[in-house]
């Protein structure tokens, strides 16, 4: 299995949030169920095994959901997705907020800001045409 390398900031986030959640779940949480839930939400499909046990995914989500409810007062979890099924699967009391796509110029600015070191864009002028081609294919969502 491949090792996961996290930036220092992500490591702190993982240590403070994800690690305690995973420890609290212990043996109660099955990675196969997690994978199946994720795949079915992303693909919008279900296998014949899932069809035989339609409530299994809901049971799994019901186990996981309380772990997100114990945060500091006022804390929020934001789920970003292009798939409406994923957005509604959380059974959140709020409705999704649909973002508009960026125009081509703003899409490029955001991509450029993320892709090239600040103030060093001139060093990478040979990559600008490739970056602009990528942003055209992003359909107004350059960080997706």
How do residues 23-45 score in pLDDT, each as one tens digit? 666 655 555 666 666 556 555 55
CB 136 within 8 A of CB 130: no
What residue segments make up the domains of the chain, in order of their start? 8-89, 104-137
Q: How far apart are the first and last CA of the chain?
A: 26
- Assigned token pair, 66: 């309380």
Length of the chain: 144
DSSP 126: G
DSSP 123: G
pLDDT averaged over every residue in the chain: 69
Residue showing tokens 């609290």: 24
pTM attached to this predicted model:
0.41
Q: Is the pLDDT reported for residue 10 higher than 70?
A: no
Out of 26-35, 87-96, 109-118, 133-142, which region has the weakest mean confidence (pLDDT)?
A: 26-35
The total of other beta-carbon atoms located within 10 Å of residue 125's CB is 9
Q: How far is CA 8 from CA 27, 50, 71, in A?
A: 28, 38, 22
Buried b (16+ CB within 10 A) or exposed e, 37-53: beebbeeeeeeeeeeee
């Amino acid at each position: 299995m491949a090792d996961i390398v996290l930036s220092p900031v992500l490591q702190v986030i993982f240590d403070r949030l994800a690690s305690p959640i995973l420890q609290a779940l212990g043996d109660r949480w099955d990675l196969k169920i997690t994978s199946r839930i994720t795949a079915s939400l992303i693909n919008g499909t279900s296998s014949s095994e899932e069809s035989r046990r339609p409530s299994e995914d809901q049971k799994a989500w019901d186990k996981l959901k309380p772990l997100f409810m114990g945060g500091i007062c006022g804390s929020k979890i934001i789920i970003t997705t292009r798939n409406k099924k994923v957005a509604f699967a959380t059974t959140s009391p709020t409705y999704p907020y649909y973002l508009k796509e960026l125009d081509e110029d703003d899409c490029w600015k955001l991509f450029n800001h993320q892709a090239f070191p600040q103030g060093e864009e001139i060093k990478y002028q040979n990559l600008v045409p490739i970056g602009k081609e990528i942003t055209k294919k992003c359909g107004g969502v350059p960080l997706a």
